[in-house]
Chain A
């Protein structure tokens, strides 16, 4: 520095030892907090202690999961489940870093789309089903199969759902349009989107995820993103023409909003709930929140009928036993309780899950005043396939999300998008 100036000592003394000492006192109190809060990862405790790692987004969610964890102790008083959590996005990063640091929980949660990627972290449950007294047909078959990788069952499902159309019932009625229902076609969909695009609002909000395009590909071509041998296969005419149609909704027809950014897969949900787009695609897991947030009436409808009918995909999540579980049998019993009748009934009523147990699904409709959704849900589930993915799905989906924005907004082409995603699949 060219002008070093030292303050006079009396000025400087203003930040006195007294104030430094009071800071130190505060730090001491905080250190006490640290002692009881941090480092809770340790596996100390009695033999019946299990840890369970699950994503969550709010205190209410955490409370619901802790309630279910308590059911394990109620069923077997020698077992106690400690709940650990992370946000949905961070969960997947941490699952691996925990495994690497030897600090995996005993019970892990898994979403069907990511099952191939994390299969090695789970103990297959197939030969435990009998001793647990679980018949496979008590669960919805599509999600029971969705949690299998290479024929091995990694987790027991607790929820699932088909991807469906969410629509703004109020906007449809005000525009004098017939409400979307079973049997409506892709032309009906486009016509409605045109009519509802007015005054800065859009008829449709396209997702920049594979999830949002897949139902249309299925309905028109009966083709998925992953072929029967488990390989990614999107470099074909079915995907090309569907994605082109999808992009045209934004760039040519201008009935769907431009995509706002590469990282907000949630933009569709936000914009729909704010009333800025009259239709979007989403799963039943968003329905309760959408009804609570939106200032209009929210309806759901099956995917519009294409050349091969109205088809969609289902996905869901479940709980499984970690390969590093100290007591795998005890962990498996806990999983059985966490996905048991009581837990499923509770989660359904609370609106936390559309139950994977067929017998408990009614609790979701009853507990949340969603009776009118039942026909659509039943129809969509019947006409659905499990969403199959690859072992590097995070990379594939990440590439798709970022390049879909450029392709759908007209900065690049659908061909470019497809080639980049397919190249990711070859790795």
Chain B
């Protein structure tokens, strides 16, 4: 920052030549920037807009040449038809059950393990933690095949526990929460300790409230992962009683009937829960992501 003060920056050179004052110029630039960003946003949202628009077309219009944004009529009836065509409500409930239960288990067990790794002293702590860390790199696909055989031997093929449990104990949540717990000063716990609080009380009453953003991030990411999971449900579920939303969407492209407009209606509905979750928790989300260094999916 200290180097090269001699060379005038391009901004400095141009500044005197600008027709309007720096204030007005800034405002103009900001407006242009805002308009351009809105255009980019619209372009980005095009596939989503197209999804919603297609969900209101008739079957033949989805592939019309040339493509039109809207059909002759807006067929809102496609939404009720989609629900008639497949038990899509059931799929939503199935997925909600799996995602909520999986997220809760993940939060509770991760918080407990993270507390042990961050606050308790025991033998082989570093070694055990390293083992946890090592498995972070394992892609899901590595465990999918033996996992299928485990489920088969447990008689769990096509059950909810098979959709939930295998992915509720990954090292990821433990790692994330431990990192966060370590940033919380222990002084805060001393007072509680003097009051005679045990470890469980410290975790639930002192640490957990402070770590809420980290819990929020873990909850959202776990929920989304369960909600959108495709490969594992594809392998482990057998019928509509356990079908999840991503698989259910595939059902609209059946052997004899290709119901694209209904598929689009169902896809639009299936976006709702996660989008709502993100909207509600977005304040926590940005901060929690900043704290945890997550991302990169």
Residues of A within 8 A of B (CB): 1, 3-7, 9, 12-15, 23-24, 26-27, 30-31, 33-34, 37-41, 55-62, 84-90, 93-94, 97-98, 100-103, 200-201, 266, 269-271, 273-276, 285-286, 289, 292-295
Q: Is B235 located at the chain interface by the 8 A CB criterion?
A: yes
- Residue pair A98, B238 in contact (C-beta under 8 Å): yes
- Residue pair B257, A58 in contact (C-beta under 8 Å): yes
28 CB-based A-B contacts, threshold 8 Å = A4-B183, A5-B291, A9-B209, A14-B212, A27-B100, A27-B101, A27-B104, A31-B101, A33-B97, A38-B158, A38-B161, A41-B157, A57-B251, A57-B256, A58-B259, A86-B238, A86-B239, A87-B251, A87-B253, A89-B250, A90-B247, A90-B250, A93-B234, A94-B238, A266-B253, A270-B258, A273-B59, A274-B61
Interface locus among B19-27, B35-43, B81-89: B81-89
- How many angstroms between the C-alpha atoms of A30 and B104 in the bound complex? 13
- Residue pair A3, B284 in contact (C-beta under 8 Å): no
- Give residues 276-297 of B contacting A (CB, 8 Å): 284, 287, 290-293
Query: Cβ of B246: which chain A residues have Cβ within 8 Å of it?
Result: none
Q: Is B9 located at the chain interface by the 8 A CB criterion?
A: no
Q: Is B33 located at the chain interface by the 8 A CB criterion?
A: no
- How many angstroms between the C-alpha atoms of A333 and B158 in the bound complex? 28
- Residue pair B159, A38 in contact (C-beta under 8 Å): yes
Interface size class of B (residues with CB under 8 A): 35 or more
Q: 14 other contacts beyond A31-B101, A38-B161, A273-B63, with CB at 8 A cut-off?
A: A1-B293, A4-B183, A7-B287, A12-B209, A15-B284, A23-B104, A26-B100, A38-B159, A38-B242, A39-B160, A85-B240, A89-B253, A94-B238, A289-B257
- Look across to chain A and name the residue whose beta carbon is closest to the beta carbon of B260: A270
- Look across to chain A and name the residue whose beta carbon is closest to the beta carbon of B87: A59
Nearest chain B CB to A381's CB is how many angstroms away? 19
Nearest chain B CB to A181's CB is how many angstroms away? 25
Query: Cβ of B213: which chain A residues have Cβ within 8 Å of it?
Result: 7, 12
- Residue pair B157, A276 in contact (C-beta under 8 Å): no
- How many angstroms between the C-alpha atoms of A101 and B151 in the bound complex? 9
- Look across to chain B and name the residue whose beta carbon is closest to the beta carbon of A272: B63
Q: Is B232 located at the chain interface by the 8 A CB criterion?
A: no
Nearest chain B CB to A397's CB is how many angstroms away? 14
- How many angstroms between the C-alpha atoms of A294 and B219 in the bound complex? 46
